[in-house]
Amino acid sequence: MTATTAPARRPVKRQTVQRWTVGSIAIVVSFVVFLVPFVFVLLQAAKSPAEANQLGFSLPTQWQLWQNLVAVMQTGDGGILRSFLNSAVLTVGSVIIMVVFSAMVGYVLQRRPSKWNGLINFFVLAGLIVPPAIVPTIWVLQGLNLFKTMGGMILIEATFGLSFCILLFRAFVATIPKELDEAAVLDGAGPIRLFFGVVLPLLKPVIITVVLVQSVTVFNDFTNPLYFLPGSENATVQQTLYTFQSQSVSQLNLLFTDVLLITIPPLILYIFFNRQIVAGMTSGAVKG
């Protein structure tokens, strides 16, 4: 009996070893790809100007992280703080628009099929594939008196992110039973009450995913504010890197300190909400 059970156990042990090996390799690769660059930035941000200019992966002889943080905050009469405020307003405004409109469109596309769905799906996919046209967009913004304004930039960011959000919401709406809609209609709920009172609360997992992913995307965006929101007063946090580097090329310690400050908010979001991101991205595929 021992001879018959021994061969059956070997494949199980072999699979366990293979899984452990693959998992270990994945952890090592993740450490190298993500943690090593962050540690490098942290070390350079804690060094003096002379040591940081050498770009060495070594501990500083004297830690000056706090002094560098104060110097960065005082650069340009508090321009860093103003840029953080601009990025916060831009991120919050655009993400709110993306969540509300993409949830509505995703719900209608999934629940109300019509002859226009094919055309709408074409434009949704085109928004993911076709690159944005910079010059025509600037011309449109100038015609609407929205160029170089925060409102126009919010609309630009929301428009660029709608296609991705619509696909997520549409996939998740498919997991919600239609009987809930019918029960709400029988209770006298109109279209607005049905969506905001019944459907939208059930979309919480995908809403969290959209908020986190798009917040990091908008917060880290550099090119769109550079084109559509020029001006030092409208600078976002990513543009401070460009301005700071052009003015103080030799002070790499302050440049890496600015990079560290910009990296902290998205890093905190991903550390505390990574499970919600994965759940929202995969819920539609698993249940649908």
Instruction: State the amino acid at position 32 in one-letter form.
Output: V
Confidence at residue 270, expressed as pLDDT on a 0 to 100 scale: 76
C-alpha to C-alpha distances, 210 to 144, 169, 215, nearest whole angstrom: 28, 9, 8
**Angle at CA of residue 259, ends 272 and 162, nearest 5°:** 60
Residue 188 counted as domain residue? yes
Mean pLDDT of 216-228: 89
**Which of 243, 268, 280 has the alpha carbon at shortest distance from 103?**
280
Whether residues 92 and 59 share a domain: the answer is no
pLDDT tier at 1 (50, 70, 90 boundaries)?
A: very low
- CA–CA separation, 228 and 22 (whole Å): 45
Residue 276 counted as domain residue? yes
Query: Is residue 55 within 8 Å of 40, Cβ to Cβ?
Result: no
Whether residues 136 and 237 share a domain: the answer is yes
Residue 174 counted as domain residue? yes
Domain count within the chain: 2
- CA–CA separation, 86 and 97 (whole Å): 17
Whether residues 167 and 225 share a domain: the answer is yes
Residue 258 reports pLDDT greater than 70: yes
Task: Give the residue with greater pLDDT, 46 vs 27.
Answer: 46
Q: Residue 159 class from Cβ within 10 Å (0-12 exposed, 13-18 middle, 19+ buried)?
A: middle
Task: Give the residue with greater pLDDT, 274 vs 123.
Answer: 123
Mean pLDDT of all residues belonging to the chain: 81
Whether residues 44 and 175 share a domain: the answer is no
Whether residues 100 and 127 share a domain: the answer is yes
CATH classification of the domain holding 116 = 1.10.3720.10
Residue 72 counted as domain residue? no
Whether residues 12 and 47 share a domain: the answer is yes
Whether residues 17 and 139 share a domain: the answer is no
pTM of the model: 0.79
Whether residues 173 and 60 share a domain: the answer is no
- CA–CA separation, 153 and 266 (whole Å): 20
Residue 113 reports pLDDT greater than 80: no
Residue 246 reports pLDDT greater than 60: no
Whether residues 106 and 246 share a domain: the answer is yes
pLDDT tier at 288 (50, 70, 90 boundaries)?
A: very low
Question: Which residues, at least 6 apart from 266, have a Cβ–Cβ distance to it below 8 Å?
Answer: 215, 216, 219, 220
- The least confident of 98-107, 139-148, 270-279 is 270-279
Whether residues 85 and 144 share a domain: the answer is yes
Q: Which domain holds residue 57?
A: 2-65
Task: Write out pLDDT tens, residues 8-43.
Answer: 455 656 777 777 887 788 778 877 777 888 888 888
